[in-house]
Amino acid sequence: MQLVGKIGRGPEAAVPVGENLFSGIKRLKEERNAVVLAHYYQEPEIQDVADFVGDSLGLAREAQSTEADVIAFSGVHFMAETAKILNPGKTVVLPDLAAGCSLADSCPPEEFRRFVEARPGHAVVSYVNTSAAVKALSDVICTSSNAQGVISSIPEETPIIFGPDKHLGRYLVEKTGREMTLWPGTCMVHVLFSEKRIRQLKVRHPRAEVLAHPECEERVLALADHVGSTTSIIARAAESPAPEFIVATEPGVIHQMQKLAPEKTFLRAPGRSEEGSCEACSECPHMRLNTLEKLYRCLDDLSPEISLDEDLRLRALAPIERMLEVR
């Protein structure tokens, strides 16, 4: 694949003559002593140039341990912000600063503060898909990989507030047996999968396993053979003897699944028909704002850079560190 950026300083990258975006990014990584961390929902070519590809927990751990001076975070804002909270002395850049998260946006800090203040004595467990300001109001953070362990680390007698994803929250109540007060947030991507159309697809592919992320609705999770974080469902696709899979999460994960199990077939779970059924429906519009050109450019300019008020950073750091201590 020959990927050459445009000449000139427009919204696209300017790659020197004789270089393509892949070789340009490699050169810039060396010049800047930079590491590229990418989430599984990124475009395949971004995953292929990254030094580490992972889920939210893996990326936070990688950000915690890197010795690079610059972290180019190909993911969404809360992920890059978490990397900055863990690494105040490093430059953290995000290819597109507009790459937000509908779930994080569904939990405004002031409203969440009132929600928490109205429930004294509760432990506040927040999903990592939140702003630093919401993290700062929390006792401990979790991701879809470690949520059950994090919840189990809270004393039985302590009531829990969980936010912001109500579907993940309901799934965790079922899994852990703990009653939790849930913030009513959702992910715009995962709520669109259609139970009815997945059932129809299963009729045509009877040997297919359904793999789902816990941000999906309960009726979709009820159809799943395996529910888990992006890392967990990629591992299941590789390990399972099934020849076909219906994937109910952002389809960026299919790139790694195909690499690990090229002989298997991976089908995107369909969205609700009333919402349309285009191939791109399940692509996260925030994650997909990042491109290889923008990654090149942010490494070149060291911009856009993530910055944080130090007092807020310290308040958001404590619950992240508590999470990272839970094994």
User: Which residues are near ligand 13P by CB under 6 A?
Assistant: 40, 55-56, 129, 143-144, 187, 213, 215, 229-230
The binder of 282, among ligand 13P, ligand SF4, none, by C-beta within 5 to 8 A per type, is none
- The smaller minimum CB distance to ligand SF4, of residues 264 and 286, is found at 286
- The smaller minimum CB distance to ligand 13P, of residues 91 and 143, is found at 143
The binder of 198, among ligand SF4, ligand 13P, none, by C-beta within 5 to 8 A per type, is none
Residues in CB range of 10: below 8 A, 6 or more apart:
none
Burial level of 35, CB count in 10 A (0-12/13-18/19+)? buried
Least distance between ligand 13P and beta carbon 116 (Å): 23
- The smaller minimum CB distance to ligand 13P, of residues 20 and 232, is found at 232
Q: Is the separation of the CB atoms in 38 and 298 below 8 Å?
A: no
The binder of 102, among ligand 13P, ligand SF4, none, by C-beta within 5 to 8 A per type, is ligand SF4
Residue 287 within binding range of ligand SF4, rule CB under 6 A: yes
Amino acid in the structure at residue 62: E
The binder of 84, among ligand 13P, ligand SF4, none, by C-beta within 5 to 8 A per type, is none
Coil, strand or helix at 218: helix
- The smaller minimum CB distance to ligand SF4, of residues 279 and 309, is found at 279
In angstroms, rounded to a whole number, what is the distance separating the alpha carbons of residues 44 and 1?
12
Q: For 9, phi and psi rounded to 5 degrees?
A: -100, 60
In angstroms, rounded to a whole number, what is the distance separating the alpha carbons of residues 275 and 292?
29
Residues within window 119-148 making contact with ligand SF4, judged by CB under 6 A: 129
Residue 102 within binding range of ligand SF4, rule CB under 6 A: yes
Which region, judged by CB under 6 A, interacts with ligand SF4, from 64-72, 82-90, 183-191, 307-315? 183-191
In angstroms, rounded to a whole number, what is the distance separating the alpha carbons of residues 248 and 266?
11
The binder of 55, among ligand 13P, ligand SF4, none, by C-beta within 5 to 8 A per type, is ligand 13P
In angstroms, rounded to a whole number, what is the distance separating the alpha carbons of residues 68 and 66?
6
Binding letters toward ligand SF4, positions 187-226, x by CB under 6 A: xxx-------------------------------------
Residue 268 within binding range of ligand SF4, rule CB under 6 A: no
In angstroms, rounded to a whole number, what is the distance separating the alpha carbons of residues 169 and 171?
5
**Ordered DSSP codes for 241-255:** --SEEEEES-TTHHH
- The smaller minimum CB distance to ligand 13P, of residues 56 and 91, is found at 56
In angstroms, rounded to a whole number, what is the distance separating the alpha carbons of residues 145 and 148?
8
